[in-house]
Structure 1
Amino acid sequence: MIPEKTINKDLILRERLALQRTNLANQTTYLAFLRTSLYFFIAEISVESLLKIDNSFYIEIIFFIISAVIFIMGIINFFKQKKMIGENEKNIGDYKIDYFE
């Protein structure tokens, strides 16, 4: 006689909660990228009024490029991590295969 396996519902709940925490951490990381990008954008706007330099236009362009790069990196990172989280979320439901085959 084959012993029946019991479903560990605590493990499933723990995995779901871990994925939710991971999803929230991904969103927090995206917001950090956005905040940093905005800081560089604000620096770009305020360079001309704070620094009385003849070629402050070039410094503004550099800050704008850095801001855009950080923003794009944040978006790419967010969607890449979101895809990985979604792929791992599918594995939570596979407990039925282990217990009911």
Structure 2
Amino acid sequence: MSEIVNKNLILRESLALQRTTLANQTTFLSFLRTAMYFAVAGLSTRNVFQIENSLLIEISFYTISLFILILGIVNFFKHKKMIIKNKKHIGDYKLDYYE
């Protein structure tokens, strides 16, 4: 009876971590896109709407945009750290198979 490493399991774990990394990057890009939408809304507010407090609305859009961008960056690095921490466990286990 010998100890055999289940290579299919290691490959599956490795691919799962790659998918998780790509999902993390996609989520960051979604945060970035949303922040850019709010920034563009802030840029166009004064030109499109002829209201008294357009500067206040413009500043609020910029503030929301900056908040979303910072939240996205923090979220990205927090999850990236967790992914790297879990990456070291791939192949760290062995299963016994009897022939």
CA distance in 1, matches of 2:54, 2:64: 15
CA distance in 2, matches of 1:53, 1:8: 67
CA distance in 2, matches of 1:15, 1:22: 11
Q: Which runs of 5+ in 1 are unaligned?
A: none
Q: Which runs of 5+ in 2 are unaligned?
A: none
Residue in structure 1 matched with residue 42 of structure 2 by the alignment: 44
RMSD: 1.0
Q: 2:66 aligns with which of 65, 68, 73?
A: 68
CA distance in 2, matches of 1:20, 1:92: 12
**Which 4+ stretches in 1 moved above 4 angstroms?**
none
TM-score using structure 2 length: 0.92
TM-score using structure 1 length: 0.90
Sequence identity, in percent? 58
Number of residue pairs matched by the alignment: 95
The one of the two structures with greater contact order (alpha-carbon pairs below 8 A, sep at least 6) is: 2
